[in-house]
Amino acid sequence: MGASILAIISKAPLRISFAGGGTDLEPFCSTHGGCVLSATINQYAYVKIEPNPSLTDDTWMFCSPDFDEENKLTGDIDDWDTNKSTLLVKTYKHMYKKYQFELSPVKITGYCETPPGSGLGSSSAYTVATVSAINRYYALGLSKYDIADVSHYIERDVCSLPGGKQDQYASTFGGINFIEFKNQVLVNPIELPESFQEKLQMSTVLYYIGGQRNHSVIEDNIKNLQENKDTITKTFQLKENCNSFFTAITTGDQQRIIELMNENHLLKKQLSSKIIDPDIEEIYQTAITHGAMAGKICGAGGGGHMIFFTDFTKRHNLIKTLNSLDGHVVPFSFTHKGTITWSQ
């Protein structure tokens, strides 16, 4: 940490997943290999870390304004009770234990523009932003893969939050990526022609259903991947769907994209009624009737967001129809950058 630096601010983008979600869950991805195709968007998690001279030499403050939470911790960091602590506290403590940086009393404030359970990877973006801020503030020199790896470990093992692997890597690297999982994670950036990316942007409508995804949706999926042959078979089909989506998007085959997105919806529906419940199915059918050519749930399902693919001439009518339902359309644009930090 440079003496002239007053604070470090980081931001990490959320993402929408076009294909492959569910193949990044354990034990499937380690045993069979998984893949996802996702794109980061201009919705962000932010974290600020700063020295706090008003605190004593053994006092740290962690603030989450969007959850109206504030934690003030003192004494030896090894003695901090993190069982009921926020993700900020758990991340900071784990980073210290892993990298042994020189401790200094700080104030860390974080918030996310989208609530957890939204299907856009908000919790992961929040973790990535926190790790990135700590990395810059304490000059740890972590690579992008390091940031994504430790963020994934913190969410899954330190915080015991169920989920896959894609979100931390999507948020760290940014852009449109084909991400592969097995013995290691490989992030493959997709460079689309500007005209086709603009077409993809204009054709995609992001819709907030309302509510939040329940952790039980993911937990049930993980359990079924261990003991249910039909779930494993459907997950292999989701993997094939993702590989085909990669080919379609890199060749600019719009008709194939539409077919594969609808196939994804059907596979998710067959996997579990908790992923695509009757309310979500009704929204999907309403959208198809009013201008959408395809649609799918974002994230684990059960709530949060959906994306729909439409023609430019039908976009206005689709948005009008969706906004007349209980949720609302969310304006967005693709972003090419992953997590970034700057000094203040």
167 catalytic? Reply is: yes
> What average pLDDT does range 220-234 have in this prediction?
77
For residue 215, pLDDT beyond 60 = no
> What is the per-residue pLDDT for 70?
87
92 in Cβ contact with 82 (< 8 Å): no
pTM of the complete model beyond 0.75: yes
The 10s digit of each residue's pLDDT in 181-200 is: 988 999 999 999 999 999 99
> What is the per-residue pLDDT for 47?
98
Q: Give the separation between CA 90 and CA 88, rounded to whole angstroms.
A: 6
At 152, is the pLDDT very low, low, confident or very high (cuts 50, 70, 90)? Answer: very high
Burial 244-258 (b: 16+ CB within 10 A, else e): bbbebbeeeebeebb
Choosing from 58, 167, 220, 277, the catalytic residue is: 167
- Pairing, β 304-310 against β 328-329: unpaired
Rama region for 94: left / alpha / beta (φ>0; ψ in -120 to 50; rest): alpha
Lowest average pLDDT, out of 4-8, 56-60, 82-86, 212-216, goes to 212-216
At 216, is the pLDDT very low, low, confident or very high (cuts 50, 70, 90)? Answer: low
The 10s digit of each residue's pLDDT in 307-343 is: 999 999 999 999 999 999 999 999 999 999 999 999 9
Domains in the chain with CATH codes:
8-190+335-343 (3.30.230.10), 194-329 (3.30.70.890)
What DSSP string describes 66-127? GGTEEEEEES-GGG---TT--HHHHHHHHHHHHH-PPP--EEEEEEESS-TTSSS-HHHHHH
Higher pLDDT, 290 or 116: 290
At 89, is the pLDDT very low, low, confident or very high (cuts 50, 70, 90)? Answer: very high
298 in Cβ contact with 207 (< 8 Å): no
